[in-house]
Structure 1
Amino acid sequence: MKQNNPLDLASSSLISMMRLLSMLSLIMSSWSAVATAPRVTAQMLGEEKKADIVGYQSIPLNATATDLDGKLSLEIVTEAFKASGKTPIVDILPSKELAKYALLKSDAAALIGSPGDLTAKEKNQYDIITFYLIPIGSGEQQFSMIFRKMDTHAKELQKAFSDGLKKIIKTGKYLELFEKYHGKGKLSTDYVSRLKHYNSSWK
């Protein structure tokens, strides 16, 4: 009989505990604000559903980045999937380490994060679609969807997200979301071209 690895059991227990703490925090904050997205997997009633996608609560990357960047990125993800008729379950975990662990252990099909979250070796195992950019110094930080390559469900989500993202860019929904958080006229004229640069598979 196969024995469970004590480290895996401990890590799984830690993830469950942190999810519960995160859920309690979200419930408390919801008293003063109504959450729009994503759907959180921890359920107060009924069986907990497994997340399709995980993300993590992050500290602003530079002086110009705020929590608005995180909120905008989640809205972009939600609207892109919506445009393709998909509503995957997204679980926002308290730390990058927990979210990455869920991805690496195949608990989730995809991760909302940055290509920098993966090592060079790990990147060979995942497909990356960059969907949002913020300036950092002389460069820019990528917000990306990171999908597992050898997984049928992940492939389905990847296609839906890629198609949906291109669709909301074409229809103007992406611009609408961007201006909702950053104001009108703030999207640079070469922004979409830069997104395409990071997504070489786009035609």
Structure 2
Amino acid sequence: MPIIANDILKMSRENVLNLYEPDQQHSRHITHLVLSMFDGWSELHGLRKNYRRLLETAALLHDIGITINFYSHARHSAYMILNAKLFGLTHKEQVITAAIAGWHNGVSKNYFKDRFYKELLSDANWKTINKLALLLALAESLDYTETSQIHVIEPGINKKTATLKLYAQGIPSIEMHQIQEHLSWFKKTFGVELKVQLATAAEE
């Protein structure tokens, strides 16, 4: 019997992307940035590689709620992910993925914990969701203007400090301002400061 899809999750989330027609260039760029953070800060977050595919799915679909309402799109994205035909995920994994996307503008525990599925997730699950949602929020801030101005990032760890070097076309002043909004969240979540550095032209 022929294999219909080598990666059923990849195919199903592409179907969701194409169905709701968000800004796919932005979504894919955000996904590239956030996976770079996940890989570069593996020592910092300490999460299993299985969570990488949940983060990838959340990043690709984080803006689909815009089709319902722009200003509250994060929670709408979460609802749509919860109810999407995402084959290849368990129900619990789909809830986690939805929560990651739903928090990309900031933590909103009440929205999820008041729902009937709250018993699926442990306190440890919520801590994991917080870490991954923070990474997604950072990535979102790095393409706030949706122009892909910041094209490469280099996450690192230097003693007791996390570092993030940005390579950009021009001066991404709006993105540099936006990422500052998440520094306290980063310190609270990981227990270290995040130092953001814009690479000079000579370094590119």
Q: Structure 2 length normalisation: TM-score?
A: 0.37
Q: Structure 1 length normalisation: TM-score?
A: 0.37
